[in-house]
């Protein structure tokens, strides 16, 4: 076997064995998730009680988590946005988020205290 075919075979084997790794920005790039958390904290601090859920989602984007239920005949929806880092496990847990609470599509408040009152 001459040199060129051997070199091509070695290159193919190395490329196959090493593979490719893609890292999601939230989990892999520390600056990205830190920036997103800071952006979320800043945006939340500028919200106003009474804002529509659509307006909040337009401003903050897709939440890390959400839940919805009815209480006293009214729809309650809670959107959880990542605002602080607590665990280096590649996942966003509820204790790393700020809950935004909506009643019938209208923002009634945010933070753990507000969330605890509606659960």
Residue 22: per-residue pLDDT: 37
- Ordered by start, the domain boundaries in the chain are 3-118
| Residue given tokens 């309650």 in the structure block | 76
Over residues 29-67, the pLDDT tens digits come to: 566 878 889 999 999 999 999 999 999 999 999 999 999
Alpha-carbon separation of residue 13 from 1, 19, 75, 92 (angstroms): 16, 10, 58, 37
Structure tokens at 74: 């009214």
| Mean local confidence (pLDDT), 8-30 | 47
Q: At 79, which helix (H) or strand (E)?
A: strand 74-82
What is the dihedral angle through the alpha carbons of 55, 60, 63, 64, rounded to the nearest 10 degrees?
-170
Extract the tokens encoding 118.
Answer: 């509606």
Q: What is the pairing mode between strands 74-82 and 65-71?
A: antiparallel
Summarize the chain as % helix, strand, coil (round to 5): 45, 25, 30
pTM of this prediction? 0.71
Was domain 3-118 assigned CATH 3.30.360.10? no
Q: How far apart are CA 118 and CA 45, in angstroms?
A: 21
Q: What average pLDDT does range 80-105 have in this prediction?
A: 85
Q: In the block, which residue shows the tokens 């830190």?
A: 34
């Amino acid at each position: 076997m001459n040199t060129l075919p051997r070199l091509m075979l070695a290159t193919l084997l190395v490329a196959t064995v090493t593979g490719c790794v893609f890292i999601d920005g939230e989990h892999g790039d520390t600056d990205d998730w830190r920036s997103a958390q800071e952006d979320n904290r800043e945006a939340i601090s500028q919200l106003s009680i009474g804002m529509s859920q659509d307006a909040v989602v337009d401003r903050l984007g897709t939440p890390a988590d959400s839940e919805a239920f009815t209480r006293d005949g009214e729809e309650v929806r809670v959107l959880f946005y990542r605002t602080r880092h607590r665990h280096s496990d590649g996942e966003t847990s509820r204790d790393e988020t700020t809950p935004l609470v909506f009643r019938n599509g209208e923002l009634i408040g945010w933070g753990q205290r507000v969330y605890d009152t509606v659960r």
